[in-house]
Structures are given as structure tokens and as C-alpha cells.
Amino acid sequence: MSVEKTMMNVIVDTGCANLSSVKFAVERLGFQVTITDDITLIKNADKVILPGVGTAKHAMANIRAKGLVETLQNLTQPVLGFCLGMQLMCDSSVESSDGKKVDCLGIIHTDIIPLNAENNRLPHMGWNTLTSVGDHPVFKGINIGDYFYFVHSFAAPISEYTLATCQYGSSFSAVIAKDNFIGCQFHPERSSKLGSKIIKNFLELAL
């Protein structure tokens, strides 16, 4: 039996959309994965994916209602966030209907702010290139100039936690990381072969 078939990978059910597309993207690579909000399963997983679509306010309300805040904050295995899932790892976000600051998980110490798109249309939606790529196993086979699929109007500024950048009016963090937590502002599950490579690299990270 192959190594990946014996590992337990989970997608956290945050109550947001796109869970099925993330699950399909993982399974297409030959890995098994379970969508769950069960605290025990999440704690015992080998790899955890935190997806998200919608607003930070709505997603954090779901996470709190499910009693998952402390569980997610204390995970020690590799965790990969997709788009809003990445933003939820940060200290706060102003992505709410009233524009007020939303307290997030506080794992990666940066804040999500409106994307300074200059004269470009928002949301930043479609394919864009990475303008810098850091040294991390999740980037194996990924290079500056590679295209990924973005859909967002809010972003993490460049900081000490930035692993990759993108330009849309201004530069922003395309990937951030701290310890075992990694977050992609783009959607790996929608980013064709290169997005699949990011997911595969993550699932094959040494424990």
C-alpha cells in the first residue's frame, strides 16, 4: 500500500462553499481526504486543509459556532489554507459587510486589508503570475512567472511571513507561512497543473 493511502488528510468543514472542488482536487492526485468538522479527526489528521469562500466575518462565525477556534490554533501538523482559508489564519480582517475589523485565528501575525488595486477592477479575479517565490518545499517545481487563479478584494500585505508575492496594482502576499501553517491567496484547486503541484507538494511534506 502506498504511503499516501495510509495517511489521514482532512478538509476542515468551515460551512463555506467549494469544499467539494477541493476534495476532488486532492482525490485527483491519488490521495484520500475527508471533509469534516469533527475535532478529534482534525486533531489526529496528518495534513489539514483549510478552505474558504465568502467573507471572513461569516467564516469566523461558523468556525466559532463549530467550536473549532482553539483546535485550529493548536494544530502541529502541516496546515494549508486556500484563499479565505489563508486569510482566516491571520490576526484580523476588515472583510465584513459593515467594514469593521473581524478577529481571525491569530496564527500568522499579519492583518487582511483591502487590496490596493490602483486603477484595476476589483475583485482581482483571474490568472496572475507570482513575482517572487521563496525557498519552501511546497514550492518544489514552482517558479517566478508561474500563473495561478485568484479571486479576492482583500489581501495580506508584504511582511516577514510572505513566501511569495503577486502584483495587481500593488504587491501583496500570494503565499504566507509561519511554522507548520501555510496559506495561499490563490485557489490551488482552480489553478490547473501548477495548483495541483502545490497541493501534491503539501500532501507529501515530511512529517
**Residue 198 backbone dihedrals phi, psi, to 5 degrees:** -60, -45
Is pLDDT above 80 for 39?
Answer: yes
pLDDT digits (tens, 9 = 90+) for 23-37: 999 999 999 999 999
**Which residue's entry shows cell 459593515?**
98
Q: Which residues are catalytic?
A: 83, 187, 189
pLDDT digits (tens, 9 = 90+) for 67-126: 999 999 999 999 999 999 999 999 999 987 777 899 999 999 999 999 999 999 999 999
Distance, CA of 166 to CA of 155 (rounded, Å): 10
Is pLDDT above 80 for 3?
Answer: no
* Grid coordinates belonging to 126: 483571474
Higher local confidence (pLDDT), 55 or 143: 143
Distance, CA of 162 to CA of 164 (rounded, Å): 6
Percent above pLDDT 70 for the chain = 96
pTM, full prediction: 0.94
pLDDT value at position 1?
37
Number of Cβ within a 10 Å radius of residue 75: 18
Closest to 23 in 3D by CA, of 14, 32, 15:
32
Pairing verdict, β 162-168 and 102-103: unpaired
3-state helix, strand, coil split of the chain in percent (to 5) is: 30, 30, 40
